Structure 1
Amino acid sequence: MLIKSIKNNLSENIELLRQLTNDEFTQKNPELSNATIGEHMRHIIELFGCLFENYDYGLINYDDRKRDVLLQTDKNESIAIIEKYLLELDKPNKPLSLTHNCFSPIELLQTNYFRELIYNLEHSIHHQALIKVALHSLPHIKIPSTFGVAPSTLEYRKQCAQ
């Protein structure tokens, strides 16, 4: 179910990107403290990238990422990378170590691949929720009702509707 949820989330991101023009993708949004949808999408992509690119090595550091400007300025490049990640996603769970620049580069936290997938899914949903705010100024863009909503919230809403 985890892999399916992440595939759905990444697919939602692709569908959004396909609807946006590159100008809309790179437009500064006052609702996002003048950030762009592209900057938020780059951030989502790069965190997933940190996990996938370091899976074999076994050491993840989300602070030590490329910050590739092309991913925030060219929506087609973002789409291509997300499509690539959709193919790389389904890996076996295994122990990983996580380091973070706000602690110490030598302090390692034990984690695993599935736990980091959950983190990345929640992180993507969080940024989708922010992006959704910027989409209010783009009424022609259609997103699913699940966009930017946590699975637990969707489940809760189902229960309330019964």
Structure 2
Amino acid sequence: MKNTVYIEVIKQLTDLLKQLTPEKYTQSLCVLNGSSIGQHTRHVIEFYQCLLKGVAGGIIDYDARERNFLLENDLYFTVETLENIQKQIISIKKPNESILLAVSYSPDNQDYIETNFMREMVYLVEHSIHHYALIRIGLQENFSNIYIPKNFGVAYSTVRHHEMSA
């Protein structure tokens, strides 16, 4: 798979995190309802991990996240994990091959929907950008010395709309 927007989205977070100190990464922020940048980052990463595990095993289950607290507490481990995820995404051989997505909206019912890696990457881009917007708010309100790229946390459709309106 080529180096695409999917890798770019992960790289945006990786580059931003490299500016933080471990203390800033784990600090509880009032504007994020007491969550930290690390907690939002862990959540984003674990969705990618679920997708990659699902591709290998045939079933994606975003509810089966590991909830690895090392990802929200160890900044350096997290950056390394993001870099490894980028490599894994690039190495996917059959991105359009059918796989199943497990969905469950009640404790006693699980359904399966046919999907593929590329479709799920589209979802993860949107999911990631949503959390990046929250991370952006946390950084702007608490750490004004951190450089945040203009379009970090802004949906690609919104970026295009603003460019066309300018």
- Both proteins in one fold, TM over 0.5: yes
2:158 to 153, 157, 160: 153
1:4 deviates by 1.4
Give TM-score scaled by structure 1 length: 0.94
- Describe how 1:11-160 pairs up with structure 2 within 5 A: 11-90=11-90, 91=92, 92=94, 93-103=96-106, 106-136=110-140, 137-160=142-165
Runs ≥4 in structure 1, deviation > 4 angstroms? Answer: none
Root-mean-square deviation over aligned CA pairs: 1.6
Runs of at least 5 residues in structure 1 that lack an aligned partner in the other structure: none
What is the count of residue pairs matched by the alignment?
161
Q: Distance in 2 between matches of 1:38 and 1:32?
A: 11
Contact 1:25 1:75 (8 Å CA) reproduced = yes
**Alpha-carbon distance, 1:101 to partner:** 3.0
> CA offsets per residue over residues 116-152 of structure 1, 9 Å max, x none?
0011111100000000110111011002111001111
- SS at the partner of 2:114? strand
Deviation at 1:2, TM superposition (A): 8.8
**Residue 55 of structure 1: SS of its match in structure 2?**
helix
CA distance in 1, matches of 2:70, 2:165: 43
After superposition, what is the alpha-carbon deviation per residue over 1:66-88, rounded to whole angstroms, capped at 9, x for unaligned?
Answer: 00000000111110111001111
Structure 2 spans left out of the alignment, 5+ residues: none
**TM-score computed with the length of structure 2 as normaliser:** 0.92
State the identity as a percent.
Answer: 34
Q: Partners in 1 of 2:25 and 2:97 — Cα distance?
A: 36
User: Matched residue of 1:109: which SS?
Assistant: strand
CA distance in 1, matches of 2:57, 2:2: 22
Structure 1 range deviating more: 105-114 or 55-64: 105-114
Instruction: Report the alpha carbon displacement of residue 39 of structure 1 after superposing the two structures with TM.
Output: 0.2
Counterpart CA distance in 2 for 1:34 and 1:43 is 15
SS where residue 63 of structure 1 aligns?
helix
Cα shift at 1:111: 1.2
